A and B are shown apart, each in its own frame.
Chain A
Amino acid sequence: MYDKNFLEKVKKEKENWEQLNKNAKEREVKFETDSGIPIKNLYTPLDVKGDYLEKINFPGQFPYTRGVYPNMYRGRLWTMRLFSGHGTPEETNKRWKYLYENGETGFSAAVDALTFNGIDPTNRDGAPEVGTSGVPLYCIDSLFALTEDIPIDKVSVALVVEPFTSAPVCAMYFNMAKMRGYDISKLIGTTQNDILTMTVGYIPYKNCPPNHLLRLACDLIEWTVPMKNVPLWHPINFTGYNYREGGIDAVQELGFVFASAISHIDNIIARGWKIDDFVNRLAFHLAAHKDFFEEIAKYRAARRIWATLMKDRYNAQDAKSHQFRFHVQTAGSSLTAQLPMINIVRTAIQGLEANIGGCQSLHTNSYDEAICLPSEAAALVALRTQQVIADETRIANTIDPLAGSYYVEWLTDEIEEKVWNYMAKIEKVGSIDKALSSGWLYKEMRDAFHKRRTKIENGEEIMIGVNKYKVPYDTCTDVFRTNPESIQIELDRIKKLKERRDNAKLEKILDELRKVCEKEINVMPVIMEATKEGATIQEICDIYREIYGIWEPPLAI
């Protein structure tokens, strides 16, 4: 990147500088990134390799290291999207409106554990969890209540459901939108639909085996985008965030999402579609963790890897197919129950990483995250944190402001190389469903859990208030409690629905779904019909269970 003579001169001067300062003392800590990359005391032009136009280039141009759009935040700020849901759809709707009125620019539905696992509260194993960790969405009526008076034609909605339940929940949403008079071919939003979230990020309760989950995820992709039913929708969001939270590092996070994306792309291509028919609607969701510069380098490396992967491996022609677009969530696992107010500081710094790294959308965590679901007050602080970054810091004045930093460019290269190597390692194990069913990914997660835990327990990874400057749990923060009446409210909702619907007609559609599942053809058309007629999430998922069986993940301790 620099002239040879100039580099010679720098090299010589650097040697002089090192000689002069060789006795300068350093603290007794490991100078390395969170992922373990050793870090030098200083970076200079000597560390920056390669050609600017080839490797970095301009924003909106291959390989998109500096950002996917030519104008980035000067054109439009990132979407401020808080992951939010609790109690009942009506209460969640109230929270959504509150945040929207205060400047939120996108919605994201956090669903409860029953919705996540495709069961309803008539299942007594899960009944105490109705609405406790998210919003219950068990039938089409819930989707109407969730989005009441919300302009879903103008503001994008993220449905955070995974492959086991993504088809029924999305079908309920699309049907609701149609019945409200919206043209779903113009609908904007995202479905998480991420196989790894519901297998290694979070263990599944009575879900089906990974090969079927992979196919179901691809059914939604195929039906929305290349089949053009909801062509602007993002039918999948590869969510490295969720497994990163388990303890894996930045390199593994990107390795997991890209390996997963490859398996999904290969599945859709095997159905006869071309890469440019669908790949530009695949989206990503990454973490903003504690290591400030490593995370920024990660976002920049991710854009370059994706562009290269699409061009070289898949021969994608459309420029949009090369663009890595991503949502970011600040790291919940970095927050502490001991010093909740300090969580605001942590979140602000992590939000800044995401914005300096050029994210398209951001969730900032609430300070009570390590204690309970976000209270209204805590969620508002989280939103205001983004607004401070956007409107007060002036970081959005220029695009990719850290480009050209000797350190950041060097670290971007390091991460990129390590991710390519890790992807090759995963590919040797096989496609993503095989990496799951063989237990390989569970072992990777397990090892990461223990490594991270050991570092925290021996003080190598510092958590203020927990293992340094220790303080007791904070008991002053108001604990947000979800509505204890939720179970009854949701049981009543399902009862009313079942009384109203044409059960004979629905039975016929569900029989049709059985046949479709047996033949392994796209489930979306018949699930659109079934949910319109009032099928509940459990009625759909029970058919999956009946045909595909229940999978016990090979957990590793």
Chain B
Amino acid sequence: MSENKIRVLMSKPGIDGHWRGGIVVSRALRDAGMELIFGGFQNVQQIAEAAIQEDVDVIGLSIHSGAHFAYTRQLIDILKEKGVFENILIVVGGVIPAQDFDKLKEMGVGKVFGPGSMTSDIVSYINSHTKK
């Protein structure tokens, strides 16, 4: 029943090349039966376009550059402008201080997974929080 699978776009906004986190989580989501689209480096415009084109349920942002506020805000603005924000769950992971989690959630992120997060927790969060 592939049409019932949760579809996830995993993206690295910007140009920072720390790729381990995004790959490890991608594999875990795929192993958990989700449809995984690995976007790699994308600017926020490309992320939004890919998310719409691929009709994803979830956008995963892997950010280790310290620029998590800028990229997340920009992406959510575009998703809102395109009228798809309400349908897509946004999950952010990476080296992000716990002090910043609330502000990201206020912007519209579902949950932030910082260093040391367990992939099993990410899988179960996504399974129970997709918006569609």
The distance from the CB of A138 to the nearest CB of chain B, in whole angstroms, is 14
Min C-beta distance of A121 to chain B, whole Å: 11
Contact of B67 with A128 in the complex, beta carbons under 8 Å: yes
Interfacial chain A residues near B19, Cβ < 8 Å: 202-203, 555
Q: Give per-residue flags for A462-479: 1 if the beta carbon is below 8 A from chain B beta carbons, else 0.
A: 010111000011110001
> In the complex, what residues of B have CB within 8 A of residue A114's CB?
15
Q: Does B23 contact A (CB under 8 A)?
A: yes
Closest B residue by C-beta to A368 = B97
* Known A113-B16, A113-B65: A457·B43 in contact at CB below 8 Å: no
Docked complex: B63-88 residues within 8 A CB-CB of A? 64-67, 70-71, 74
Q: A370-B95, A457-B120, A466-B116 are in contact. Are A449 and B23 (CB under 8 A)?
A: yes
Residue of A nearest to B114 (CB): A337
A557 at the interface (CB under 8 A from B): yes
CB-nearest residue of chain B to A466: B116
Given contacts A337-B116, A449-B24, A479-B99, whether A129 and B17 have CB atoms under 8 Å apart is no
Quick one: closest B residue to A197, CB to CB? B17
Q: Is B131 positioned at the interface, with any CB of A under 8 Å from its CB?
A: no
Answer yes or no: A9 CB below 8 A from chain B CBs.
Answer: no
Cβ-closest chain A residue relative to B66: A132
| Cβ of A166 under 8 Å from chain B | no
- A557: B residues at CB distance < 8 A: 23, 26-27, 30, 36, 38
Q: What A residues does B38 contact at CB under 8 A? A: 555, 557
Q: Does chain A have a CB within 8 A of B33? A: no
Q: Given A338-B116, A457-B119, are A116 and B36 also a contact pair (CB < 8 Å)?
A: no
In the bound complex, residues from chain B placing their C-beta under 8 Å from that of A128 are 14, 65, 67, 70-71, 74
Q: Please, how many residues of chain B have a CB less than 8 angstroms from a CB on the other chain?
A: 36
Cβ–Cβ < 8 Å partners of A204 in chain B: 17
Given A116-B17, A450-B27, residue A132 in contact with residue B65 (CB < 8 A): yes
Q: Are A463 and B116 in contact (CB under 8 A)?
A: yes
A450: B residues at CB distance < 8 A: 24, 27
Q: Which residue of A is nearest B101, CB measured?
A: A473
In the bound complex, how far is the Cα of B26 from the Cα of A116, in angstroms?
25
**Across the interface, which residues of A come within 8 angstroms of B120, CB to CB?**
457
B residues in contact with A124, CB < 8 Å: 43
What distance in Å separates the Cβ of A150 from its nearest Cβ neighbour in chain B?
A: 25
Tell me if A449 and B41 are in contact (CB < 8 A): no
Interface residues on A, range: 35 or more
Instruction: Name B9-36 residues within 8 Å CB distance of A.
Output: 14-20, 23-24, 26-28, 30, 36
What residue in chain B is nearest A205 (Cβ atoms)?
B15
**What is the bound-complex CA distance between A403 and B16, given in angstroms?**
42
Query: How near does chain B come to A235, taking the closest CB pair, in angstroms?
Result: 23
- Answer yes or no: A372 CB below 8 A from chain B CBs: yes
Compute how far the CA of A203 lies from the CA of B41 in the bound complex, rounded to whole angstroms.
9
**Contact between B71 and A449, CB atoms less than 8 A apart:** no
Q: A126-B14, A457-B118 are in contact. Are A247 and B99 (CB under 8 A)?
A: no
Say whether A482 faces chain B, with CB atoms less than 8 Å apart: yes
Which B residues lie within 8 Å of A474 (CB)? 98
- Tell me the complex Cα distance, A132–B100, Å: 15
* A113: chain B residues within 8 A (beta carbon): 14-17, 65
B94 to chain A minimum Cβ distance, whole angstroms, is 11
Q: Is the pair A129, B67 in contact by a Cβ cutoff of 8 Å?
A: yes
Other-chain residue from B17, B40, B43 in contact with A202 (beta carbon distance below 8 A): B17
Closest Cβ of chain B to A489, distance in Å, is: 16
- Which residue, of A119, A453, A472, has the highest number of chain B Cβ atoms within 10 A? A453
Q: Is residue A133 within 8 Å, beta carbon to beta carbon, of the partner chain?
A: yes
Q: Does A198 contact B (CB under 8 A)?
A: yes
Contacts of A556 in B (CB 8 A): 23
| Chain B nearest CB, measured from A509 CB (Å) | 27
Q: Is B15's CB under 8 angstroms from A125's CB?
A: yes
- Nearest Cβ on chain B to A37's Cβ, whole angstroms: 24
> Contact at B99–A126, with CB atoms within 8 Å?
no
Which of these, A125, A203, A466, contacts B17 with CB under 8 Å? A203
Q: Which 5 A-B pairs have the closest CB atoms?
A: A473-B98, A132-B66, A202-B17, A128-B70, A205-B15
Given contacts A372-B97, A450-B27, A557-B23, 5 further A-B contacts (CB under 8 A): A124-B43, A125-B43, A202-B17, A203-B19, A247-B20
Residue positions of A touching B, CB distance < 8 A: 113-114, 116-117, 119, 124-126, 128-129, 132-133, 198, 202-205, 246-247, 336-338, 370-373, 446, 449-450, 453, 457, 463, 465-467, 472-475, 479, 482, 555-557
User: Would you list 6 pairs from A and B whose C-beta atoms are within 8 A, ordered by A residue?
Assistant: A128-B14, A132-B65, A337-B98, A449-B24, A457-B120, A463-B116
